[in-house]
């Protein structure tokens, strides 16, 4: 890789780092809007679901309006991490960063189904109880199974980042623990949906760790891009 190419990769890594932090801010903001409004938890009673989607359509609309930008930011983060890790991985014939980017892309698509279902519920909840019940069951299933792809993103970028020396051991360990929790929640989806309770907290705890993990990853990418351009430019 030429010195100019190194600088270009660093510049893109900085973009990915900023995107990671902005992504985390958007998904937290969406939840800050919807959870206080009464967004039902997985496995919630149909009456609670109907009441929320019939009366809190604005909160659902605002939450859904934030997600397209979040999906773009998540993709930029994944691409930025790939740019930072690819040279090292190519030398080792690894592809963990590609696994992580694939996980991010798949979770974007899957969560698109979650948001689309929520928007559909705002139309069915006031009028059609059976359609609301079916849509909410679909929502819970897709939402819980989405943990598979979050786990894939966490796994790939945690292992890739650690093997390349980009992230410290604690950061990688946090990502792998969050991945285990997300994957466990997805694997136990039937029981999570049916019973909720403590099983429902597997995914929630994994999600909170995911937010901390991605913010920390963004800081690492920005810091790496800020610390090394001067050294890379010497060879220009």
Q: What is the pLDDT of residues 195-228, one digit of tens each?
A: 766 788 888 999 999 999 999 999 999 988 776 5
pLDDT of residue 22: 97
Q: Which two tokens stand for residue 126?
A: 């006031």
Residue 3 has pLDDT above 60, yes or no: no
Residue 182: exposure state from Cβ atoms within 10 A (0-12, 13-18, ≥19): buried
Contact 150, 210 (CB under 8 A): yes
Q: What is the pLDDT of residue 99?
A: 96
Average pLDDT, the chain: 90
* 232: pLDDT strictly greater than 90: no
**Residue 103 pLDDT > 90:** yes
Question: What confidence tens digit (pLDDT) does each residue in 123-181 have?
Answer: 999 889 999 999 999 999 999 999 999 999 999 999 999 999 999 999 999 999 999 99
Question: What does pTM read for this prediction?
Answer: 0.90
- Number of Cβ within 10 Å of residue 15's Cβ equals 17
Tell me how far CA of residue 58 lies from CA of 3, 34, 154, in angstroms.
50, 10, 32
Helix, strand counts (H, E) of the chain: 10, 0
Q: Are 155 and 103 in contact (CB under 8 A)?
A: yes
Q: What is the pLDDT of residue 92?
A: 87
Q: What is the model's pLDDT at position 10?
A: 62
Give the closest residue to 152 by CA, choosing from 180, 111, 173, 114: 180
Q: What is the pLDDT of residue 233?
A: 45
CA distances from 191 to 3, 6, 33, 37 (A): 53, 48, 28, 26
pLDDT, mean of residues 13-40: 94
What is the predicted pLDDT for the residue at 12?
84
């Amino acid at each position: 890789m030429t010195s100019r190419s190194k600088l270009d990769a660093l510049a893109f890594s900085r973009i990915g780092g900023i995107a990671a932090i902005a992504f985390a801010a958007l998904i937290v903001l969406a939840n800050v809007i919807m959870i206080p409004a009464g967004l039902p938890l997985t496995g919630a009673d149909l009456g609670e679901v109907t009441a929320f989607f019939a009366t809190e359509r604005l909160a659902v609309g605002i939450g859904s309006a934030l997600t397209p930008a979040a999906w773009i930011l998540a993709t930029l983060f994944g691409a930025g991490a790939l740019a930072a890790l690819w040279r090292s991985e190519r030398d080792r014939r690894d592809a963990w960063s590609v696994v992580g980017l694939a996980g991010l892309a798949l979770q974007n698509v899957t969560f698109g189904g979650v948001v689309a279902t929520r928007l559909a519920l705002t139309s069915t909840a006031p009028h059609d109880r059976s359609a609301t019940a079916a849509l909410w069951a679909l929502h819970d299933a897709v939402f819980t199974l989405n943990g598979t792809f979050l786990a894939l993103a966490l796994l790939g970028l945690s292992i890739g980042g650690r093997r390349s020396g980009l992230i410290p051991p604690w950061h990688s360990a946090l990502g792998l623990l969050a991945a285990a929790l997300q994957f466990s929640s997805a694997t136990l989806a039937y029981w999570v949906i049916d019973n909720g309770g403590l099983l429902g907290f597997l995914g929630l705890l994994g999600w909170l760790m995911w937010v901390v993990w991605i913010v920390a990853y963004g800081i690492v990418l920005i810091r790496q891009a800020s610390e090394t351009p001067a050294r890379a430019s010497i060879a220009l």
